[in-house]
Amino acid sequence: MLKVGITGGIGSGKTTVSKVFEVLGVPVFYADDHAKRVMVEDQILINAIKQEFGEESYFDDGSLNRKYISNIVFNDAAKLEKLNAIVHPATFRAFDTWVEQVGNVPYILKEAALLFEAASYKLCDKAIMVYAPLETRLNRVTRRDGITKEEVLSRNARQMPDEEKIKLADYTIINDDTALVIPQVLALHQQFLEMAGTK
């Protein structure tokens, strides 16, 4: 089974592109969704978060106190790095379990915002970067999330620059609202099927 990572900056449309692959029957592991899940299900991880950030990291019902955690990590790069160092191994474990459950398919996608930053691309055979110009991404995210451009830029600054991601990626999908995405996805889909030896 071929493992393909897919990433892109905030607002690049990596999730939308991943959904196109899903329509083609490709299983997709959404790392950020799984990270949220393991933060309330993985007891080893829960204990580590409480130890590092305090008991108030979780509410009495077991749900994560996101606002409390966000206030700590988004103003302190070292704390954010610490949180990622705790969460990423649990997400990797969830990915391994998920791959086993998927069964016999030619290839799967792992969609992750921090594919390169967390070095999880090293666990993949190939990596795709979804690229859109910064101005396009700013407009998309401010409309989608109802936040200011400054907030988007702040989030974007915590990610690796696009130029570096493109260098690390094996393929780049252009999603700038002018290039057609579906033909780009179909071309890669064919390549991955051939690599996996099914076509």
CATH label of the domain that carries residue 160: 3.40.50.300
Domain boundary among 62, 79, 104: 104
Indicate if 109 and 99 belong to the same structural domain. Answer: no
Among 52, 89, 45, 92, CA closest to 69: 52
Nearest to 29 by CA among 129, 97, 78, 84: 97
Per-residue pLDDT at 198:
67
Q: Are the CB atoms for 113 and 7 separated by under 8 Å?
A: yes
The sign of the torsion formed by the CA atoms of 43, 51, 117, 8 equals positive
114 and 99 within one domain: no
- Sign of the torsion formed by the C-alpha atoms of 40, 17, 115 and 89: positive
Neighbours of 9 (CB within 10 A): 24
- Reported confidence tier of residue 162, pLDDT bands at 50, 70, 90: very high
Print the domain residue range for 94.
Answer: 34-104
Into how many domains does the chain fold? 2
If pLDDT is split at 50, 70 and 90, which confidence band does 118 have?
confident
> Does residue 80 register a pLDDT over 60?
yes
Helices (H), the chain: 14-23, 31-41, 43-53, 66-73, 77-102, 134-145, 149-157, 162-168, 181-195
- Tell whether the model's pLDDT for residue 133 goes beyond 80: yes
| Residue 165 and residue 69 share a domain | no
Same domain, 115 and 182: yes
Look at residue 25 in the predicted model and tell me its pLDDT.
96
pLDDT-derived band at 120 (thresholds 50, 70, 90) equals: confident
Beta-bridge partners for 126: 4
pLDDT of 199 > 60? The answer is no
The model's pTM is: 0.88
